[in-house]
Structure 1
């Protein structure tokens, strides 16, 4: 076909003259396409038909079968066929892309399919040829025929291959051994090296038909110095002993691209995944990668600057700008996606996807990246990748530099749908600048000197002078100066603080830290001293801070997180200062540090449906790994608890809101755990259990505290003959999942003694038996105190039909007619027994158990509900003690004003109790004078309801 046919092609994005659709766009803009069409007869016809629909692997296989000519030299025939196929694919891709018919995903998928097909076809041809001489490689241990496993790295591994890219490969095999069945024998190692070399030549040799793909093998263990092919055992040893940080990034996208058609290949691929997964994805949150990526990016940027003549920035005059490695380029977007994968991929399998755009989408789903920022990154990525392709369409060159001549600039601008080069540059800069800003915000080096460096030099100098003597004995030796400096910084008990700092300095734990970890630890101690000194109680805050830093000192990732994010360190300071309980909780669960970075989560109300869906998904991914699933449950529970705690400490939640959220969290965890455990129960007899969890006590009344246990019972309604045994086993397993201590901590303590007949009763109860027990049908009947407990009971997880029946039964039981003269003494007697079990011999007032405290209020409300619900159904609502008191007052059952006053007292007592627990007090006791008035009002209500003799006052 003559070149003149292409001379009048209109610019891409512009309508052709008249109504005629041009035959082909590509030759006008791609010198490569023009050359191919001129050189090969019939290529235009292939292109005209193929460009109408997206390219598929099936089309490529069909074309390869036609192009592969029978030949005595199968290797040469394959070389020619693959090169001609590559030309066809390239021309179709270019044409469809320039017409706007192909998405970026179609282009990269087509090139990735071509590379995989070429590798697999080449291995088949070469393996058959080698077999004639050497036979097949056989594993010494298994006796199985071994296969070369080709791993695609980089963009091939991510199925994001660009049109003129080389392919990064690694050659692996499973077992050592020797070839069998040929006229000569080779070791498996020698065989696979020989096969690998021939595959590289098949793909990369430049012949009269061009080449298929340039091949880069430098990502293999030890790079160019390492063997061309290595066993899985050799790879494992290398990654464990020598694997470097940048290799973790490379292996993120590592994917087997050779055929997986045989069981051996599939098994080898699984072994490879098991081997590389823990190398790439740490089990903990790995914030150490931020500094490592920062360093790697600086090296890449410097190298790019060298190659482009020192022009690493961006602008109209910097014509050789590299859109891949330059500021705001493709690599920065990839790094921002990879940082989420490397930090969190060990705990969240959803982040282990390979394509960059998919990673960004998952980051948005997980709340790791605002949707607006992700959209900016994705738009820039698509534009840059399309520009990359158009630069490469020109001459099939692996270039990422913007053109330097006006003719090339104009052509590329038109290929991108722009009228001129300046318009393209303006679009490019508008997309790249937000990328660069986001990258710099993510990877900028934090301030490393925020405060005076008191540690460790101040303490080390004094220790050197005193030779380890106690601070009190060393004042004359010069230790008064360090104490004076600590006092000047804002600490009162400087002697105790100095002793603590000295103990850290000489401790084996501190001395055993790596140089990098010790540097970060030293930085954080100085920041802790600075932040603690700003708090009202600097001494207690720094004590908690040092406890916390000591606990995390051996976890380099946590040290990295706090070093990289000073705002997280400031929030740690606030948390440690605000609550001793919070300080202990964070010290026990340092993985919660990650939550301090999520500004939105610290302000938003939780979405419990989304929480359950996310938890279900993560548990499903870890299906069959019980310990991993239990850890996932605990980490998610701790994270949600900590978010509630942080909002609580910031004064964003009332005590009632805290209790509601903690109760909702418990409900959600129970629901998800129930589903997960049932799926793993070997004896289950149906798809979904006809089983319900009923909450009593604090959970039942939605008044759960941070450290509350769960009072629950289990009901089932199932006529299957094995149902009692199955559900008993299910309940035991469920309790184990909730109460077991794992590396991630525990979920809840569980108390099931409120079930029928208490600890002596069955762990699970059929609904019918529970109904008869509560309605006192038969000899085995519920006690009055059990009906008291029922006033705060509710369905919280499991089968909703059983839950609805329970709620109806509860309403029926509570609305039974009761005689005040009989009921009141029983309530009063039970209250006395509770008081005997919680004696208070001190001078302080126990907010919960002393007369006039919370238990008096709760017993009064329970009595009113049991006595009056028959006439007033609204009292059966499980709406909390304060609301029920108000209802009773509105109904005239008690004095309305006194009801409101006692409701306020209950709210006050709960708030005081809550604060004391946050401050680390085991018992909620206060000075009697501070609550004299509200306690007096509670006693007045008790007197009005029960009277001095224990009889109920008439309503």
Structure 2
């Protein structure tokens, strides 16, 4: 008994093949412990002398030999699924390439080589589609092909024909070589119906024809099909990819793909029901196709913005979806396990007679063979596990593709027009100003923007508005929330993808309502950047701590992937920044972040953005004399003190240390380019407003200065307020060595011994100028308090700390640390420079002021409160002010 005798009963086809070719059994028996690979397969094919006459039998014998090798290893339990599908893909690749080589040589001998107008040799690109394209070919599959060639032209032989005619002949002969049934069988069945215009279209098309077809006629299901398109032969694949990618993968988040895929699946389901295909493990409920749909719909939705999702194999896509929080890790693992089970079962069905079948067998003897080939003691045990997997797949499929709007909504009539009863309806829903709400809704319904919507968009809009009404009514402030929600829906109404997202995911609409009800600034931010709606689908939005190391590395990778596309890189920076700000915002509004921690995160995020902008701006300079610039970004103010808010400007100074004679000119260009990268308005918005006025000599100074010039300026020409600003300055991005030398200069300046009386006069004079320019004046002084500008407010605390640092750092170097005002007040008290009790009350006052200021800014309100509400804090700050300044 040979090693094959135990497995041959599971495949009648292989048993017949081995019986007909006795030498094959001995050959495969020797190879059974070794996995097929490209080298072994290619060598076997190359060993045969192939001509046009011998091509067909040679290819069929090659297919039978390779099929027997991988099939018998699989049935013996030696081959994982990936080996089987990769080997079947290699068989197809090698057979197509060899056939193309032999047939193409013969055609060129008759007609000459096909050339374009520039005289360049043209080659046929055979595109593998479906499972062939994804390197997932099953053991009895047909192969889906499309034939494309780059340019029109004609052949250069004595009998001239057009390139179109040449490649059409080549394509027809290739199909015959692979698919014709001869006495030796066939290599693969060939299906060409996925080509442009299907069976009614030409067999081959040029790049130009293909691109025009995509633009003018390409349908949603073709986008789905072209996800897996893979060039198998020819050259100029990058040009082909530049045509395919924008057709398949949109630049925006394409949530409209869900509806298109849902419709396509519904068509398949109808065909399945019509043909009684409940036992079809590919197309039936919970089958292979549903797993593929789940993976590929998210590729269509997100692949244009998330390049790694453009990969082809289904088993590679699923873990990526889990990494991104699109599927749960358990869900992705369940789908992968089901996919492996179904694909291996599919193969055992097909091994029986080498038939392209996906139906469970009706005959009991075949049921028994399939069950034992899968390792089950009986068919019922196999069915039990199959049913469990199909049920799991169906649940996941419904979770993704179920139509949440199929049953309508209780408030549909209110949106469609309740007339005089609308006010009453809004009142019953808890709106405080039902008349205003009814008028707003009626104006929207009668407005030009709504009436001009395309039918499909209007249907989505009609489904969303009643749900927005319900979401607003469920919150404590329904009036404000509804106004903000309707503003958002109007703003995104021209972008069907955003409406589709909110329509498909009602939980996202609920989160939007909560966010907008909590903060008008958040509502405005979301309206400016609606792409952030996608963030609300991530279940980890509130739970996942910030991983800035991982974020920095991932952002670097994404920027490198699109190098040297400056426009896309600038957009990527903005999109990444907006997404992180939005995540922090949702955690902030949910009460999960203390203000100090929020400011730390926003400051770290800004540092990363500046660092990446600097790095890639440098790479774009035409004149560069080193790999990395000896250039540093120094942050001042809010960023320097790590107290950045959501919409804070960046106060920065650019420094360099470089002996190159052209360094000043080169770094001036870099400084200008960097400011553009940070503050330019692109389709994705803007990163930051930047302010460079703190550089030496302010607006009249150079955009970037050397370290030596900066030190000299600080020692000889800087104003006292510029030394105050240095107390909150730090290195943010660029060359760390330059940053370390800046810190040495900063400490040197701060530790200068100063005349106490002169320092006192200078600080008080500067503070008075700020009082005169910005403090509350007139009758409002008695009732209102500006948290930042008024006496006893935030700036007074900052000036107190700066005065203490500049006046005492020459004795107490610990005051030089850029630790923030709260920490420095504690240090000053510990040194005996201020009373400890007063320091503690001022620390508390500073925290409270920042908390109040932050809350006001979240709702776009000025930093003013009722004076009486903060009297204890005002008195605490003013009390310490009097102690320190003796007034």
Which TM-score tier does this pair reach, normalised by the shorter chain? over 0.9
Q: Deviation of residue 545 (structure 1)?
A: 1.4
Partner of 1:770: 710
Partner of 1:544: 484
Q: Deviation of residue 625 (structure 1)?
A: 1.2
Which sits farther off after the overlay, 575-584 or 358-367? 358-367
Partner of 2:829: 889
Aligned 8 A contact 1:25 1:95 in 2: no
- For structure 1, list consecutive stretches of 5 or more residues without a partner in the other structure: 7-21, 313-320, 460-478, 949-955
Q: Is structure 2 residue 69 aligned with structure 1 residue 129? A: no
Partner of 2:525: 585
Q: Is structure 2 residue 254 aligned with structure 1 residue 295? A: no
Measured in 2, the distance between the counterparts of 1:797 and 1:400 equals 59
The 3 A distance-change label for structure 1 pair 689 and 369 is: farther
Aligned 8 A contact 2:4 2:72 in 1: no
- For structure 2, list consecutive stretches of 5 or more residues without a partner in the other structure: none
Q: Deviation of residue 82 (structure 1)?
A: 0.6
Q: Deviation of residue 390 (structure 1)?
A: 2.2
SS of the equivalent of 1:68 reads: coil
Partner of 1:953: none
Within 5 Å, give how 1:77-156 maps onto structure 2. Answer: 77-139=54-116, 141-156=117-132
Aligned match for 2:412, one of 453, 456, 459: 453
Partner of 1:827: 763
Aligned 8 A contact 2:775 2:786 in 1: no
Partner of 1:205: 180
Within 5 Å, give how 1:460-859 maps onto structure 2. Answer: 480-774=420-714, 776=715, 780-841=716-777, 843=780, 844-859=784-799
SS of the equivalent of 1:694 reads: strand
Q: Is structure 2 residue 264 aligned with structure 1 residue 251? A: no
CA displacement 1:802-842 (0-9 Å, x = unmatched): 22333333333323333322221111111112223324336
SS of the equivalent of 1:715 reads: strand
Q: Deviation of residue 669 (structure 1)?
A: 1.1
CA displacement 1:468-496 (0-9 Å, x = unmatched): xxxxxxxxxxx533333333333344444
Measured in 1, the distance between the counterparts of 2:841 and 2:409 equals 51
Q: Deviation of residue 877 (structure 1)?
A: 2.2
Measured in 2, the distance between the counterparts of 1:659 and 1:834 equals 25
Partner of 1:947: 886
**How many pairs are equivalent?**
882
Which sits farther off after the overlay, 345-354 or 864-873? 864-873
Q: List 4+ stretches of structure 1 deviating above 6 A.
A: none
Measured in 1, the distance between the counterparts of 2:384 and 2:735 equals 60
Aligned match for 1:61, one of 42, 49, 54: 42
Which sits farther off after the overlay, 552-561 or 354-363? 354-363
Q: Deviation of residue 26 (structure 1)?
A: 4.2
Aligned match for 2:247, one of 279, 292, 297: 279
Aligned 8 A contact 2:148 2:206 in 1: yes
Measured in 1, the distance between the counterparts of 2:433 and 2:44 equals 83
Q: Is structure 2 residue 39 aligned with structure 1 residue 43? A: no
Aligned match for 2:209, one of 222, 225, 234: 234
SS of the equivalent of 1:707 reads: coil
TM-score where L is the length of structure 1: 0.89
SS of the equivalent of 1:635 reads: helix
Q: Deviation of residue 389 (structure 1)?
A: 1.8
SS of the equivalent of 1:711 reads: strand
Aligned 8 A contact 1:26 1:91 in 2: no
Measured in 1, the distance between the counterparts of 2:413 and 2:478 equals 15
TM-score where L is the length of structure 2: 0.96
Measured in 1, the distance between the counterparts of 2:379 and 2:474 equals 55
The 3 A distance-change label for structure 1 pair 235 and 862 is: same
Q: Deviation of residue 646 (structure 1)?
A: 0.9
SS of the equivalent of 2:54 reads: helix
Measured in 2, the distance between the counterparts of 1:94 and 1:25 equals 13
Aligned match for 1:442, one of 400, 413, 419: 400
SS of the equivalent of 1:747 reads: coil
Partner of 2:331: 373
CA displacement 1:194-221 (0-9 Å, x = unmatched): 2212111111111111111100111111
The 3 A distance-change label for structure 1 pair 305 and 484 is: closer
Aligned 8 A contact 1:176 1:231 in 2: yes
Q: Deviation of residue 751 (structure 1)?
A: 0.9
Within 5 Å, give how 1:916-927 maps onto structure 2. Answer: 916-921=856-861, 923-927=862-866
Measured in 1, the distance between the counterparts of 2:375 and 2:769 equals 85
Aligned 8 A contact 2:417 2:442 in 1: no
Measured in 2, the distance between the counterparts of 1:798 and 1:51 equals 58
Aligned match for 2:845, one of 905, 926, 941: 905
Measured in 2, the distance between the counterparts of 1:630 and 1:299 equals 42
SS of the equivalent of 2:254 reads: coil
Partner of 1:389: 347
Aligned match for 1:171, one of 114, 134, 147: 147
Partner of 1:469: none
Aligned match for 2:199, one of 209, 221, 224: 224
CA displacement 1:620-646 (0-9 Å, x = unmatched): 111121111111111111111111111
Measured in 2, the distance between the counterparts of 1:539 and 1:732 equals 46
SS of the equivalent of 1:944 reads: helix
